[in-house]
A and B are shown apart, each in its own frame.
Chain A
Amino acid sequence: MTTAAQHEHDTPQAFEPFGPRARGFLLRAGWIRATWCTALFFLVGMFIVVGSRAIFDMHPVYNWTIITLTGALTMAPLGFLTGIGAFDYWFYWISGRPTREEDHSGHGAKAWPDYFRINTDHKVIGVQYTVTTFFFFVIGGLMAMLFRAELAQPGLQFFSSQTFNGLVSMHAVLMIFLFIIPAFAGLANFVVPLMLGAPDMAFPRLNALSFWLLPIAGVMFMSSFLAPGGPFAAGWTGYAPLSVDSPVGSMFFNMGVQWAGASSILTALNFLVTIITMRAPGMTFWRMPLLVWANFTTSLLVVIATPFIAGSQFFVMFDRVLHTSFFVPAHGGYVLGYQHIFWFYSHPAVYIMMLPGFGIVSEVVSTMSRKPIFGYRLMALSFIGILILGFSVWAHHMFVAGMADWLRVPMMISTLLIAVPTGIKVFSWLATLWEGKIRLTTPMLWALGFISMFVIGGLSGIFLGSVPIDIHASDTYFIVAHIHYVLFGGSVFTIFAGVYYWFPKVTGRMYNERLGQLHFWLTFVSFNVTFFPMHYIGLRGMPRRVFDYSNQFGSLNMIISVASFVLGVSTVIFFYNMITSWTRGPIASSNPWGAHTLEWQVSSPPPIFNFDEIPVVVGGPYEYGVPGARHAILHSAPAAEEVHA
């Protein structure tokens, strides 16, 4: 892996200009080079396929579907990354040219075009991540509104059944792989190095590569709408053998997951190394903010589990392209194997989508209640508990799939056990709130909304974790209600909490509080009107992933659809608030919330290398109201924070 080996010491040549060579516009790293490199690599990919088909005597040599797909899904993305400049430094290094590991030529953003380049600054990358993911959030949300329009009445009104299935699948895939998971990575990218007292991530260039892998995955998923036979429509779970036999659009899913997965593995690796090796002096593990703990455990989950979804999608592709029979029973394959391997990633993925949110909410709740977090160590340990238990519950997605009977009860028990560490967290937040000086700012509203909605989602999770109820409720709208209470009421609410909480830090400006509160209340109400009735219609027997349904569910579905459109409109308020506040909002102070963690002790936005001197950590991060308590000493910063202590 060249990426990890990048920091070789070179023969010192102190007065050489090490930065990129001056070049003409075609060869300069950027969008022009990315365009022609993408095209070139696409052609090379085609050539490789045609060449190997000719060598191995396969007929027809020119199978345009295979040729185009290989070019577009494997080689063209590499061309894009090469062109945009993700590999430049490593190419120099590989060829033995003099390089300087402390090369800051691509660091920091002075103007908005710098956000559209390869950038090694974790703060710029954090913004790149967050903005990109919200772009896909909008697309995924619009798709949800499209199929809610279809579902407003029984019968088929707007789409073909295939398009409907495609919209549902794409909505889930974009929201999971292009919004929730990377949005947390983006927020953490901005905040974690600051919280640790580090000048940047451990591997800044790898960090840039991780980000640029992400839009590739997004574009790949969406371009499956252009594939012959329509987009992938087997659901975001892409169960074999359906996904093996469906039109080639599902290849876009198979490969898109690989690019998104590579992105999250590399980011997670980067977080782990940063957290382990770059903490400021005095920042012991027991003094780390809970957001850092959350990202530490999440990253472990990502590094360990993500290869399994890569494997599952490889097998599906092999079954399609190489005619293997991993999931073909007629040739000795084992169909359920797909679900086991898939869920061995995708259940831990649920915690990948939740633990960073727990971290954000811990920050917000403690700061906004002006109290130390209740049971800090147990909060941290419960992350570890969820991490370990998370790997032992995957088959609760398969109670009705026909798997071995003896697996059911152990999986049920381990599933219900997860309520223990999760319950510790919920009760700790409540105890933190207890008799606190609560400030109901927008991030706090989202955090409180999260706690209440997540408890509802958790309770329906206990229902579904119990084998007898799951058998009844499987594949109904009850599941849809549950997943949206934990992923929307859970994860998305925490993302909003985080975005509002760190908005003044990231932009140096304050958002509009009234619009923020309006956004929260409109979302909160319409979210509940949208998803709460789904519990009922699910238990009454309406199956999920259908475009047509029994007339008895008609009026409730109409209410759900109308509410979902209100939910969509509430997001417009959010974007209006973000855009206008970012451009014209009032200048924010460096620490508007009076928080103790390190990111608030530097200017807003933070200086290019975060700190002039590495701070010294002398206490816990949440000692609000404790006389004389300090989290860290910054030598050159004004010590103005005692006012809030």
Chain B
Amino acid sequence: MSAHAEAHGHAGEHHGPPTANRSSRIDATTLGMLLFIGSEAMLFGSFFAAYFFVRVVNPIAPAHWPPAPFHFPIFVAGVNTVILVTSSFTMHWALQSIKRGDRAGLKAGLVSTIALGLAFLLTQGIEYAHVGFNPGDGAFASAFFGLTGLHGAHVLIGLTLLTIAAVRAFRGHYTPEHHHGVELPGIYWHFVDVMWIVVYVTVYLL
């Protein structure tokens, strides 16, 4: 962001840009992340649309969801929901810690969030292996694997961002004043968490 011009005091080296005017109270990177999340939400929207077409609009939609011989593992996915919701709290803990200047809390919060995220993915992998059907078993399976798979991919992206934040945290970055690198992955992680609750309710429970 060109918003902060030469703050480091070597103006003699080259003529830097003028400091851009800040015309909004919202920070540019936060706004960028929020817009990106908006776009991601619409990608989920397209997958929900496909699910809606298969399950509701389709004149030959199955009367039961999922169709007769198959079951969704509601309990296992429920446990997974608890795992992911918990990880949102540990994420919040990490962020609050660095705001207070508590570096140990930041590291512990990030590491436990990553661990919970990995546990979620592992559980989902095991669930896929034992769910009793595969993507080729009809449109209900397409919708199921589509939505849960898309969400799993987003957990992976979130974990990547958190890992980057953790690497930098362990290398001594972030201060109570400057912690965007924790805050933004945190916003994304909460989005992934909320999306999972929507996916869980629509796909498994409804």
| Given A1-B188, A104-B14, residue A202 in contact with residue B168 (CB < 8 A) | no
Nearest CB of A to B115, in Å: 20
Residues of A within 8 A of B28 (CB): 7, 202-203, 273, 277-278
Nearest CB of A to B61, in Å: 7
Say which one of B76-84, B177-185, B197-205 lies at the interface with A.
Answer: B177-185
A265 to B137, CA, bound (A): 34
CB of B104 within 8 Å of the partner chain: no
**Tally of contact residues, A, Cβ under 8 A:** 75
Q: Is the CB of A341 within 8 A of B2?
A: no
Residues of A within 8 A of B53 (CB): 334, 336-337, 340
Q: Is the CB of B138 within 8 A of A325?
A: yes
Nearest CB of A to B63, in Å: 12
| Given A14-B9, A324-B135, A344-B49, residue A278 in contact with residue B20 (CB < 8 A) | yes
Residues of B within 8 A of A204 (CB): 2
CB of B119 within 8 Å of the partner chain: no
Residues of A within 8 A of B180 (CB): 5, 7-9
Q: Is the CB of A332 within 8 A of B20?
A: no
From 170 to 215 in chain A, residues with beta carbon under 8 angstroms from any chain B beta carbon are 197-200, 202-204, 206
Nearest CB of A to B114, in Å: 15
A319 to B24, CA, bound (A): 45
Nearest CB of B to A607, in Å: 9
| Given A8-B178, A102-B4, residue A329 in contact with residue B60 (CB < 8 A) | yes
Q: Is the CB of A307 within 8 A of B18?
A: no
| Given A10-B173, A315-B50, residue A328 in contact with residue B139 (CB < 8 A) | yes
| Given A6-B29, A102-B6, A312-B46, residue A269 in contact with residue B16 (CB < 8 A) | no
Q: Is the CB of A276 within 8 A of B26?
A: yes
**Tally of contact residues, B, Cβ under 8 A:** 77
Residues of B within 8 A of A310 (CB): 43, 46
Over the window 2-21 of chain A, the binary record of Cβ atoms lying under 8 Å from chain B Cβ atoms (1 yes, 0 no) is: 11111111111011000000
What are some 11 contacts across the A-B interface (CB < 8 A)? A9-B175, A9-B178, A100-B8, A199-B20, A308-B49, A322-B136, A331-B137, A332-B58, A332-B61, A333-B139, A337-B53
CB of A281 within 8 Å of the partner chain: yes
Q: Is the CB of A277 within 8 A of B26?
A: yes
Q: Is the CB of B22 within 8 A of A199?
A: no
Nearest neighbor of B1 in chain A, beta-carbon distance: A7
From 16 to 69 in chain B, residues with beta carbon under 8 angstroms from any chain A beta carbon are 16-24, 26-29, 31-33, 35-36, 38-40, 42-43, 45-47, 49-50, 53-54, 57-58, 60-62, 67
CB of A611 within 8 Å of the partner chain: yes
Residues of A within 8 A of B146 (CB): 315, 318, 324, 326
Over the window 201-235 of chain A, the binary record of Cβ atoms lying under 8 Å from chain B Cβ atoms (1 yes, 0 no) is: 01110100000000000000000000000000000
Nearest CB of A to B103, in Å: 13
Q: Is the CB of A322 within 8 A of B60?
A: no
CB of A151 within 8 Å of the partner chain: no
CB of A612 within 8 Å of the partner chain: yes
Nearest neighbor of A94 in chain B, beta-carbon distance: B164
Residues of B within 8 A of A281 (CB): 21, 23
| Given A307-B45, A311-B49, A332-B60, residue A609 in contact with residue B18 (CB < 8 A) | yes
CB of B5 within 8 Å of the partner chain: yes
Q: Is the CB of B17 within 8 A of A610?
A: yes
14 new A-B contacts at CB < 8 Å, known A9-B175, A199-B18, A279-B21: A1-B188, A5-B33, A8-B173, A96-B171, A104-B14, A276-B31, A278-B28, A307-B43, A311-B45, A315-B146, A323-B136, A332-B67, A332-B140, A609-B18
Nearest CB of B to A107, in Å: 9
Say which one of A298-306, A451-459, A523-531 lies at the interface with B.
Answer: A298-306
Residues of A within 8 A of B141 (CB): 324-325
CB of A614 within 8 Å of the partner chain: yes
Residues of A within 8 A of B172 (CB): 11
Over the window 577-590 of chain A, the binary record of Cβ atoms lying under 8 Å from chain B Cβ atoms (1 yes, 0 no) is: 00000000000000
Q: Is the CB of B54 within 8 A of A326?
A: yes
Residues of B within 8 A of A100 (CB): 8
Interface of A is mostly: loop
Contact of B32 among A95, A273, A610, A612 (CB under 8 A): A273
Residues of A within 8 A of B38 (CB): 303-304
A10 to B29, CA, bound (A): 15
Residues of A within 8 A of B175 (CB): 9
Residues of B within 8 A of A322 (CB): 135-136, 145
CB of A280 within 8 Å of the partner chain: yes
CB of B142 within 8 Å of the partner chain: yes
Over the window 153-181 of chain B, the binary record of Cβ atoms lying under 8 Å from chain A Cβ atoms (1 yes, 0 no) is: 00001001100100110011111011011
Q: Is the CB of B10 within 8 A of A14?
A: yes
CB of B126 within 8 Å of the partner chain: no
| Given A7-B180, A265-B39, A269-B32, residue A325 in contact with residue B139 (CB < 8 A) | yes
CB of B3 within 8 Å of the partner chain: yes
CB of B130 within 8 Å of the partner chain: no
A281 to B173, CA, bound (A): 33
CB of A642 within 8 Å of the partner chain: no
Nearest neighbor of A107 in chain B, beta-carbon distance: B17
A341 to B177, CA, bound (A): 44
Contact of A279 among B23, B47, B138, B139 (CB under 8 A): B23
Residues of A within 8 A of B39 (CB): 265, 269, 303-304, 306-307
Contact of A104 among B16, B137, B138, B168 (CB under 8 A): B16
Q: Is the CB of B23 within 8 A of A283?
A: yes
Residues of A within 8 A of B177 (CB): 9
Q: Is the CB of B42 within 8 A of A4?
A: no
CB of A245 within 8 Å of the partner chain: no
Over the window 64-96 of chain B, the binary record of Cβ atoms lying under 8 Å from chain A Cβ atoms (1 yes, 0 no) is: 000100000000000000000000000000000
